[in-house]
Chains A and B, each alone.
Chain A
Amino acid sequence: MPERPLNRICYVEDDEDIQRIVRMSLERVGKMTVEVVGDPTMAIEAMVSFRPDLVMLDWMMPKMDGPAVFRQMKLRPETQGLPVVFITAKAAQRDLDELTAMGAAGTISKPFSPKDLPDQLREIWKKLP
C-alpha cells in the first residue's frame, strides 16, 4: 500500500457527459484533484505534465482505445510506473481478465455509482504494492 493517500487522478474519456459525472464524483465526493483528457492521443503529454497518482482509462474511444494508451504509457519512463484502472462498459469476464493480464491495477464496470467511485478507487489504491 502506497504511503500517501490517493489524491491526483488523470481520467482519459471521450464521452463529455461521463467526464462531468466522474469529475463531480471524484472532486466533490472523493475530494480528489482530477485532470480529464478528452483526446486519447494527448493523454501521455497530459500525464507527464499533470503527474497523477493513478490513471483511469476508458476502453472504447475513437482514434485510440484504452489498451493502446496503456501500451504507450509503458514506453515512457515518466508514465510506465503509473497504476491504471480501466472503466469499461464491456461486461464479459473474459475482457476484464484480459485487462488484468495486461497489468491493469483494476477494472470498474460501467455503469458505476458516482457515490461509490472514490471508495472503489481507494480500495484499488490500498492493494497496490
Chain B
Amino acid sequence: MRAGDNPALMNPTSIAHGAAIAVSPAAASIRERADPRAVLADRVEQLYGQMWLAILTTFAVGAIATFELWEARLRELVLFWWGLVLLITAASCGLLYAYRRSPDRALDPGQWLRRLAIAALANGANWGFAGAVFFPSHTDEQQVFLAFLLAGMMSGGIPAYAASWPIFALYAAGIVAPFTYVLATFGNRLFTELALLVPLFYAINVAIAYRVTQVFHSGYRLRHAYGRLTEDYKASGRKLELFARRAPIAVLEMDAQGTITEANHAAELLFGYAAAELTGRDIRVLVRPEFHADFDLRWNRLIAARAPEAGLIRNPRRDGIDVLCEWTFTPLVDAEATLIAVLAQGRDVTAQREAERVKKEFTSTLSHELRTPLTSIIGSLQLINTGVAGQVDKDVAEMTLVAERNGQRLLDLINDLLDVEKIESGKLSLAPEVLAVDDVVREAMLLNKAFGERFGVRFELASPLPGCQVLADRKRLLQVMTNLLSNAAKFSPEGGSVQILMQDAAREVRVGVQDRGPGIPEAFRGRIFARFAQADSTASRQKGGTGLGLAICKRLIEMMQGRIGFDDRPGGGTTFWFELPRSQEEMPCPNAR
C-alpha cells in the first residue's frame, strides 16, 4: 500500500511532511492535452450545425433579390441566377444531409471542411455573379439595393463561418472579387473609389473572422482538454476506489464531524459491521469509551491543523472483542484548504503485538529459567573443581572439569542468544562513555589470560596507544575484545602468541588481534559475520563456541559507529580488527600520525 497507486492521495511523503492532501487540478499545460483532430471535428460540427441558417438565408434573400430584379431588364439572366440559387441551396441541403447521416464524420473532419469550403465558395461566387451582372444594368435604387445586399451577405458570413476563417475568406472573395471588378471598370469616379474601398472592407472582415476563429479554436481546445482531464480524474477516482475496496487494510472515510461516509471490505471484516451499518455512524463507535477524550483531542488537532495524525487505537469490534490497530488519519482538502473528508487507514496489529509479547516472555523465561539451574550446576562444579568442597579423585576431577566447561559453554550460548534477540528487537541500548582504548584492551587481555592458557596461547600487546580515547560502551567493548581474543586463542597453535596491534589514524583508532592460525577458508569469508557461522563444525565441538560471537561483535561495533573486519595472510594467520571513532574530547595521542 505504500507504493501509492494514486500519487495525489497516497503519496507517503506528503503524509511524512505533515501536509494535508490537496485535491486541485494542475492548470499548467492543460491545453496541450486536447486532441487536435477532435478539436477540428468540433469546429466542423459547429459549421454544419448553423449551415441550415445560411441555406435558409441564401434562399430567402435570393428570392427577394429575384423578385426585386425581375421588373427590370435581363429577365433570362435573373431567372438563370435564381436557378443557380436553387441549385446551390439544394446542393448545400444535400451536403448537410450527408454530413448528418455520416456515422464516422468525426474521423475525417478535414474532408467535410473542404466540402463545406466548396459550397461556401459557390454560394459566395453566385452572389458575386449577381453583383457583377445586375449592378451595371440596373437603376440607381436597385444598385443601392444590390450593394446593401452584397455587404449584408458578406458580413453575415462572419458568424456563419466563424469556426473557419479560410472558408469565410473564400466565400467573401467569391462575392467581392467580381463586384470589385465591375466597380473598377464602371468609369465613374465614385465607383472607382468604392472599388478601392471594397477590398479593404474585405481584408478587415477576413481579419475579424480570423480573430473569431482563434477564439473558437482555443475555446474548443479548452473544452476538450477539460473533458480529457475529467476522464483522467474519473479514472483515477475509480482506481482509488477499487484500491481502497480491495486493500487488505481497513479504510474509512469520514466528514469533519467524524461521521463515517464510507467503509471498505477490510473494515467490514475487521470490525464485524457491514459497510452500510457503519455509514452514518460516528467513528467513535470504533474507539473504546475510555479513549474517547484522547481521541477527541487528536481529532480536533487534525481538523484544526489539517495535518495527518497516526497512532495505535484499541478498537472494539461488534462482538465486543478489542482489536489493536495502527491508524493513519489524513485530512483531504481542496485548493481553498476546505476540508472535504478525513481518510483513515487502519492495520490490525493485535496478532503482531501478541507475538511480540510472547517472544518477550519467552526470552525472559529463557533468561531466568535456564540461568537459574545453570547457576547451581556451574556453581557446584566450580566448588568441586577449586577444591572448596574437599579433595576428589583425579578421574572424578577430570569429569567435573569437563562438566563445568560445558556448563559454561551452554551459558555462553544462552547469553549470546539473548544478545542477538536484544540486538534484533532493537532493545539493546549502549552506555557510551569516553574510554582509554589502552585500558580496555589491557583489561580484556587480563580477563582472557586464563582462557588463553588453556590453549597454551599468550596474549601480547605489540603496539600500545597510551592516552588514546574513544567513545564506546565499556562492557560491550570488553565483550567484543573477549570474543576476538578467545577466537584467536582457539585457532592458534599451542605455544604460540596472539599479537594485539593498535593503530591510530586521524579520525579513528584501530585495534587488531593477530593470530598464527590456519586462516579463514575462502568459502567461509563471505559469511563469517553471519549468525551461526562456523567454518568447521568439528572444530567448534572441540573448541567450544556458538557461531554467534562475530555476528554480535559486528552489530556492537556498528552500534558504536565503528567498523569491523579481518585481513588474512596467505601463509596462515588472521588479523581481526575493529575501528572506533576517536573521542572529540580527548587530547591528541602522543604518537598520532
Contact = CB atoms under 8 A, between A and B. Distances in A.
B376 A17 contact: yes
Nearest to B370: A89
B386 A21 contact: no
Interface stretch (A3-11, A23-31, A39-47, A63-71): A23-31
B156 interface: no
B388 A93 contact: no
Consensus secondary structure, chain B interface: helix
B382 A15 contact: no
Contacts, number: 63
A115 B386 contact: yes
Given A18-B379, A115-B382, A110 B372 contact: yes
A14 B431 CA distance: 33
B383 A111 contact: no
Given A21-B380, A60-B368, A111 B388 contact: no
A89 B383 contact: no
B383 A110 contact: no
B555 interface: no
A126 B124 CA distance: 122
A29 to B, nearest CB: 6
A29 B380 CA distance: 13
Interface residues of B, number: 21
B415 A111 contact: no
A91 interface: yes
B156 to A, nearest CB: 94
Given A60-B368, A89-B367, A89-B368, A25 B383 contact: yes
A127 to B, nearest CB: 17
A28 B372 contact: no
B537 interface: no
A30 to B, nearest CB: 10
B371 interface: yes
A112 to B, nearest CB: 7
A122 interface: no
Contacts of B411: 111
B429 A28 contact: no
B378 interface: yes
Contacts of B372: 15, 18, 89, 110
Interface residues of A, number: 20
Interface in B342-401: 367-368, 371-376, 378-380, 382-383, 386, 388-389
A91 to B, nearest CB: 5
B368 A114 contact: no
Given A89-B368, A90-B368, A93-B429, A111 B418 contact: no
Contacts of A112: 375, 379
A18 B376 contact: yes
Given A15-B376, A110-B372, A93 B382 contact: no
Contact of A93 (B383, B386, B431): B431
Contacts of B371: 89, 91, 110-111
A91 B418 contact: yes
A115 B388 contact: yes
A80 interface: no
Interface in B469-499: none
Nearest to B428: A93
Contact of A114 (B367, B379, B429): B379
14 contacts: A17-B373, A17-B380, A18-B375, A21-B376, A25-B388, A29-B388, A91-B371, A94-B429, A110-B371, A110-B375, A111-B375, A111-B379, A114-B386, A115-B382
Interface of A: 15, 17-18, 21, 24-25, 28-29, 60, 89-91, 93-94, 110-115
